[in-house]
Amino acid sequence: RGQGCAICQTRWVRLGRIAQVLGKHGLGHWLQYMGLTRPLGPREPAAAEIDRGEHWIDHMSLARRLVVALEELGPTFVKLGQLLSTRPDIVPEAYVSELKRLQDRVAPFPGESARRIVERELKCKVEEAFAEFNDEPAASGSIAQVHAAALKSGERVVVKVRRPDIRRTIERDLEVFEWIAGNMERFEG
């Protein structure tokens, strides 16, 4: 029971964050389709309260706002957007065009974080493993980014580094997706 309650609480915290981000980007009206139209907890405002204000988004299309919101929500949501960008049969063209931005324009995470992850995995300092390691990523995706490096032998390599806490993030978000899908089924039915 203790673990179940922790999972439930984690889900509600994440759902609250999703509601806040969608509302912030003027997409709060979509919350009803996820069954999130009532307050999520004592500190979470209702969708109507979240959706007010934020004039900086007025010049952006709904499709562009969705892309910005997906980026803010993190790697699992970026992957969802990437998948949707390949489905013009179910997603309107204006959305497909915007969602394609997620294919190759994902914001990188800091080079210092990449160094820490590499050091934790290799169990040594980056300087001990590599002659050179570029903190600036050569490319960045929803799950990982790559850094140019050189081995002590002089051989040029790239090091693929997964985003911090990516496994836990994806597992948590997949649980939330499952809950949302179940909730949408009940809402439709």
pLDDT tens, position by position, 128-154: 999 999 999 999 988 999 999 999 999
Confidence band, pLDDT 50/70/90 cuts, at residue 1: very low
Instruction: Give the lowest-confidence range in 1-10, 12-21, 78-87.
Output: 1-10
Torsion sign over Cα 142, 30, 92, 185: positive
**Two tokens, residue 189:** 């039915």
| 19, 100, 116 from 158: Cα distances, Å | 38, 25, 16
pLDDT (average), residues 60-80? 92
Query: Cα 88 from chain centroid?
Result: 22
Q: Which comes out higher in pLDDT, residue 105 or 42?
A: 105
Instruction: Give the lowest-confidence range in 11-25, 50-64, 142-156, 169-183.
Output: 50-64
Instruction: Check residue 164 and give its pLDDT.
Output: 92
Instruction: Check residue 4 and give its pLDDT.
Output: 55
Confidence band, pLDDT 50/70/90 cuts, at residue 181: confident
44 DSSP assignment: B
Instruction: Check residue 166 and give its pLDDT.
Output: 92
Q: Which comes out higher in pLDDT, residue 39 or 24?
A: 24
129 C-beta neighbours (distance < 10 Å), count: 17
Q: What is the pTM of this model?
A: 0.72
The dihedrals phi and psi of 145, each to the nearest 5 degrees, come to -140, 165
- Is the confidence at residue 43, as pLDDT, over 50? no
Torsion sign over Cα 69, 72, 73, 79: positive
Q: What is the pLDDT of residues 82-104, one digit of tens each?
A: 999 999 999 999 999 999 999 87
- Is the confidence at residue 41, as pLDDT, over 50? no
176 C-beta neighbours (distance < 10 Å), count: 21
Strands (E), 20-179: 130-133, 139-140, 144-151, 156-162
Instruction: Check residue 133 and give its pLDDT.
Output: 98
CA-based angle 116:103:160, to the nearest 5? Answer: 25
